[in-house]
Amino acid sequence: MPPADIGGTTVSATSSVVTLNINGEKHTLPVDNRTTLLDALRERLDLTGTKKGCDQGQCGACTVLVDGRRTVACLQLAVAAENREITTIEGVAGPDGELHPVQEAFVELDGYQCGYCTPGQICSALAVIEEHAAGWPSAATGDVRPEAGPQPLTPEEIRERMSGNLCRCGAYVSIVQAVAHAAAHAADDAKETVA
């Protein structure tokens, strides 16, 4: 198929023009069909908070949220993320720059050391808290029967749910504490909203 000119951009059979909705902003750009979401974020849109670690989906440093679900951006093609809601670490803080409670917990409880894996850890923690609140079980959930009701978010649950995110500095104890603290804060906020 011959190249086509779309809006002044030449597109071939091996490239596409995609619109990525990132942190509430739409970005339209031409990409090679093999371009990962990670490379589009870092190299094309200068959103370098998402880190490149193993580039094989094993370390979790590139974790972002796509439609609220955790995704390792190094394995997600940019063309497959078109028109989906993508949240990177740059979009986690509030509009005035105030830290999200998960970010605050990581700072308060020293849930980072060198900080390289922290953006992916925080994005995963956001999803973990939402998944647990929605009642999704994990491999560490003791009783998955519906009549058992919500299970507590224990350190074992947090470790299992965060196991896709590696920290080469070994800050795991602080990361687990930070996630537990942020989850308790989110549960308190949910109770206040209901009351």
| Confidence (pLDDT) at 1 | 40
pLDDT band at 195 (very low <50, low <70, confident <90, very high): low
More confident residue, 150 or 3: 150
Whole-number average pLDDT of the chain: 92
| Confidence (pLDDT) at 3 | 53
Please, which residues have CB within 8 angstroms of residue 169's CB and are 6 or more apart in sequence? Answer: 112, 113, 114, 117
Q: Rounded distance, CA 11 to CA 5, Å?
A: 6
| Confidence (pLDDT) at 8 | 56
Q: Are 185 and 131 in contact (CB under 8 A)?
A: no
Q: Are strands 85-87 and 4-6 parallel, antiparallel or unpaired?
A: unpaired
Name the least confident of 14-23, 50-59, 61-70, 180-189. Answer: 180-189
- Interval 44-101: pLDDT, tens: 999 999 999 999 999 999 999 999 999 999 999 999 999 999 999 999 999 899 999 9
pLDDT at residue 2 is higher than 50 = no
More confident residue, 187 or 155: 155
Phi/psi for 150 (5° steps) reads -65, 135
Q: Rounded distance, CA 48 to CA 17, Å?
A: 21
Separation in Å, CA 74 to CA 53, 57, 60: 9, 6, 9
All domains in the chain, ordered by first residue: 4-91 (3.10.20.30), 101-194 (1.10.150.120)
